[in-house]
Structure 1
Amino acid sequence: MAEDTPMPDADAVREQTLMFGGEDDLDEKYPNRPNNLHKTLPFHTLFNELFDPLLDTNKNRRPTGLRRRVGPSGHSNLNPHEAKRNIIHRYIEQWRKEVGNDFYPAMRLIIPEKDRDRAMYGLKEKAIAKILIQVTKINKDSEDARQMVNWKLPGQLYKASASTAGDFAGRCYEVLSKRPMRSEVGTMSIAEVNNALDRLSQVGGEKEQVKIFERFYRRMNPEEMTWLIRIILRQMKIGATEKTILDIWHPDAEALFNISSNLRRVCWELYDKDVRLDGEDRGVNLMQCFQPQLAAFQPKVGSFDKIVSKLKPTEDDDSFWIEEKLDGERMQLHMMEDPSAPGGRVFGFWSRKAKDYAYLYGKHFSGEEGGALARFIKDAFHKNIRNIILDGEMITWDMDTDHIVGFGTLKTAAISEKENTTGSNTGQRPLFRVFDCLYLNDTLLTQYTLRDRRTALQSAVNGIHRRLEIHPYIEAHSPSTVEPELRRVVENASEGLVLKNPRSAYKLNERNDDWVKVKPEYMSEFGEMLDCVVIGGYFGSGHRGGAHSSFLCGLLVNKKAKEGDPDYGRCFSFFKVGGGFTREDYASVRGRTEGKWKDWDQRHPPSIIELGGHEQNRQHERPDQWIHPSDSVVLECKAASVEWTDKFRLGQTLRFPRFKALRTDKTWNQALSIDEFMEVKHTAETEHADKEKEFKIEQSRRKKARTTKKPLVVVGNDTVFTPYAGPASKLFEGLQFYIMTDQIHPTKKSKAELEALVKAYGAKIVQRDTTDANLVVVADKRLVKVSSLEKRATMNIVKPIWIHDCIRQDELDVGALPYLLPYEANRHMFYLLDEQQLDVEANIDDNGDSYARDVMDVDEMRDILAGMPRKSDPETFDSQAFIRQLEDHTHTMAHLKSYMFSNTKLYFASGEDAAWGLRASLARNYVKFAGGAVADGEDEEGVTHVVVPDAEYRGASGGRVAGLARTVGVEWVEKCWEEETRLDEERFQWG
Structure 2
Amino acid sequence: MDSDEVVPDPTHKVDENLDEKYPNRPHNHAPTFAFHELYLNLFNPLSEIKKKPPGLAPGRRKVGPQGKGAAGLNPYELRRDVIARFISRWRKDVGDDIYPAFRLILPDKDRDRPMYGMKEKIIGKMLVKIMKINKESEDGSNLLNWKLPGQSSTPMAGDFAGRCYDILSKRPLRTEPGDMTIDEVNEKLDKLSIASKEDQQTPILAEFYRRMNPDELTWLIRIILRQMKVGATERTFFNVWHPDAENLYSISSSLRRVCWELHDPNIRLEAEDRGITLMQCFQPQLAQFQMHSFDKMITRMRTTEDDPVFWIEEKMDGERIQLHMAPDNSVPGGRKFCFWSRKAKEYTYLYGNGIYDENGALTRHLEDAFADGVRSLILDGEMVTWDPEQDAPVPFGTLKTAALAEQRNPFSKGPRPLFRVFDILHLNGTDLTRYTLRDRRNALKKALRPVRRRFEIHPYEEATTAAEIETCLRKVVAEASEGLVLKNPRSPYRLNERHDDWMKVKPDYMTEFGESLDVVVIGGYYGQGHRGGNLSSFLCGLRVDDSHSSQGAEPEKCWSFCKVGGGFTASDYQEIRHHTEGKWKKWDPKKPPTNFIELAGGGAQHERPDMWIKPSDSVVVCVKAASVATSDQFRMGLTLRFPRFKKLRKDKNWKTALSIQEFLDLKSNAEQEHQDKKFDVDNSRKKRVKRTAMRPLTIAGYDEKENAEYLGPSGHVFAHLNFFVMTEANAPEKKSKAELEQLVKANGGKIYQTNTAAPDIICIAERRTVKVASLQKSGDTNIVRPSWLMDCVKQNIKDAGLSDLILPFEPRHMFFTIEGRDEEISFNADRFGDSYARDTTVEELKETLEKMGHLKQESEHTLDCRTSKRIEALIQRKVDSGYTAPCGWLFRDLVLYFVTSNESSGEENGRWSPNLGLTLAQNTARFGAASLTTSLDNPGITHVIVDQDMASSLQVVSLRGSLATRPGKKLPHLVSSKWVEESWKNGTLLDEERFQVRR
Residue 441 of structure 2 is aligned to residue 446 of structure 1: no
Residue 690 of structure 2 is aligned to residue 748 of structure 1: yes
Residue 143 of structure 2 is aligned to residue 154 of structure 1: no
Change in Cα spacing, 1:453 to 1:131, as seen in structure 2 (3 Å) is same
Q: Deviations over 1:400-456 (max 9, x none)?
A: 333323443323332333344xx5252232221111111112221111222221111
1:386 maps to which of 354, 362, 375: 375
Number of the residue aligned with 1:164:
156
Asked whether the equivalents of residues 250 and 273 of structure 1 are also in contact (C-alpha less than 8 Å), the reply is yes
Mapped partners of 1:55, 1:663: distance in 2: 40
Matching residue's letter, 2:691: K
Matching residue's letter, 1:748: K
Secondary structure, counterpart of 2:499 in structure 1: strand
1:24-423 equivalences under 5 Å are: 24-59=16-51, 77-156=72-151, 159=152, 161=154, 163-299=155-291, 302-341=292-331, 343-366=333-356, 368=357, 371-420=360-409, 423=410
Q: CA deviation at 1:749?
A: 1.1
Mapped partners of 2:121, 2:460: distance in 1: 43
1:438-587 equivalences under 5 Å are: 438-525=425-512, 529-555=516-542, 572-573=558-559, 575-578=561-564, 580-581=566-567, 584=570, 587=573
Secondary structure, counterpart of 2:121 in structure 1: helix
Q: CA deviation at 1:246?
A: 0.6
Mapped partners of 1:661, 1:90: distance in 2: 51
Q: CA deviation at 1:174?
A: 2.1
Secondary structure, counterpart of 1:57 in structure 2: helix
1:677-688 equivalences under 5 Å are: 681=667, 684-688=670-674
> Gaps (5+ residues) in structure 2?
1-12, 55-68, 546-552, 714-967, 969-999
Q: CA deviation at 1:522?
A: 1.9
Asked whether the equivalents of residues 577 and 659 of structure 1 are also in contact (C-alpha less than 8 Å), the reply is no
Tell me which moved more, 635-644 or 100-109: 635-644
Secondary structure, counterpart of 1:552 in structure 2: strand
Tell me the matched-pair count: 680
Change in Cα spacing, 1:105 to 1:582, as seen in structure 2 (3 Å) is farther
Residue 587 of structure 2 is aligned to residue 598 of structure 1: no
Q: Deviations over 1:854-878 (max 9, x none)?
A: xxxxxxxxxxxxxxxxxxxxxxxxx
Q: CA deviation at 1:308?
A: 4.0
Higher CA-based Rg: 1
Asked whether the equivalents of residues 639 and 654 of structure 1 are also in contact (C-alpha less than 8 Å), the reply is no
Q: CA deviation at 1:391?
A: 0.7
Q: CA deviation at 1:656?
A: 0.5
Q: Deviations over 1:243-271 (max 9, x none)?
A: 11111100000001111111111111111
Secondary structure, counterpart of 1:751 in structure 2: coil
Mapped partners of 1:580, 1:694: distance in 2: 31
Q: TM-score, normalised by structure 1?
A: 0.62
Change in Cα spacing, 1:385 to 1:296, as seen in structure 2 (3 Å) is same
Mapped partners of 1:627, 1:396: distance in 2: 37
Tell me which moved more, 52-61 or 479-488: 479-488
Q: CA deviation at 1:516?
A: 2.5
Q: CA deviation at 1:272?
A: 0.8
Q: Deviations over 1:805-853 (max 9, x none)?
A: xxxxxxxxxxxxxxxxxxxxxxxxxxxxxxxxxxxxxxxxxxxxxxxxx
Mapped partners of 2:478, 2:136: distance in 1: 48
Mapped partners of 1:425, 1:618: distance in 2: 27
Q: CA deviation at 1:332?
A: 1.0
Secondary structure, counterpart of 1:292 in structure 2: coil
Mapped partners of 1:334, 1:681: distance in 2: 43
Asked whether the equivalents of residues 621 and 647 of structure 1 are also in contact (C-alpha less than 8 Å), the reply is yes
Asked whether the equivalents of residues 84 and 240 of structure 2 are also in contact (C-alpha less than 8 Å), the reply is yes
Asked whether the equivalents of residues 508 and 627 of structure 2 are also in contact (C-alpha less than 8 Å), the reply is no
Q: Deviations over 1:277-331 (max 9, x none)?
A: 12211101111111111223335xx344444443333223333322222232221
Change in Cα spacing, 1:587 to 1:371, as seen in structure 2 (3 Å) is same
Matching residue's letter, 1:276: R
Secondary structure, counterpart of 1:662 in structure 2: strand
Secondary structure, counterpart of 1:427 in structure 2: coil
Secondary structure, counterpart of 2:369 in structure 1: coil
Q: CA deviation at 1:99?
A: 0.9
Number of the residue aligned with 1:835:
none
Q: TM-score, normalised by structure 2?
A: 0.62
Asked whether the equivalents of residues 539 and 547 of structure 1 are also in contact (C-alpha less than 8 Å), the reply is yes
Q: Deviations over 1:74-117 (max 9, x none)?
A: 99932111111111111111111211111110001000000011
Q: Deviations over 1:650-673 (max 9, x none)?
A: x46443042153358866689853
Q: CA deviation at 1:36?
A: 1.0
Q: CA deviation at 1:29?
A: 1.8
Asked whether the equivalents of residues 550 and 576 of structure 1 are also in contact (C-alpha less than 8 Å), the reply is no
Q: CA deviation at 1:530?
A: 2.9
Matching residue's letter, 1:510: E
Change in Cα spacing, 1:369 to 1:640, as seen in structure 2 (3 Å) is same
Change in Cα spacing, 1:344 to 1:75, as seen in structure 2 (3 Å) is farther
Mapped partners of 2:39, 2:640: distance in 1: 43
Q: CA deviation at 1:136?
A: 1.4
Mapped partners of 2:330, 2:540: distance in 1: 61
Asked whether the equivalents of residues 430 and 699 of structure 2 are also in contact (C-alpha less than 8 Å), the reply is no
Change in Cα spacing, 1:750 to 1:533, as seen in structure 2 (3 Å) is farther
Mapped partners of 1:447, 1:154: distance in 2: 53
1:625 maps to which of 590, 607, 611: 611
Q: CA deviation at 1:472?
A: 1.6
Asked whether the equivalents of residues 522 and 539 of structure 2 are also in contact (C-alpha less than 8 Å), the reply is yes
Change in Cα spacing, 1:232 to 1:617, as seen in structure 2 (3 Å) is closer
Secondary structure, counterpart of 1:314 in structure 2: coil
Secondary structure, counterpart of 2:130 in structure 1: helix
Number of the residue aligned with 2:862:
none
Q: CA deviation at 1:498?
A: 2.4
Q: CA deviation at 1:567?
A: 8.2
Secondary structure, counterpart of 1:404 in structure 2: strand
Number of the residue aligned with 1:965:
none
Change in Cα spacing, 1:252 to 1:580, as seen in structure 2 (3 Å) is same
Mapped partners of 2:86, 2:701: distance in 1: 59
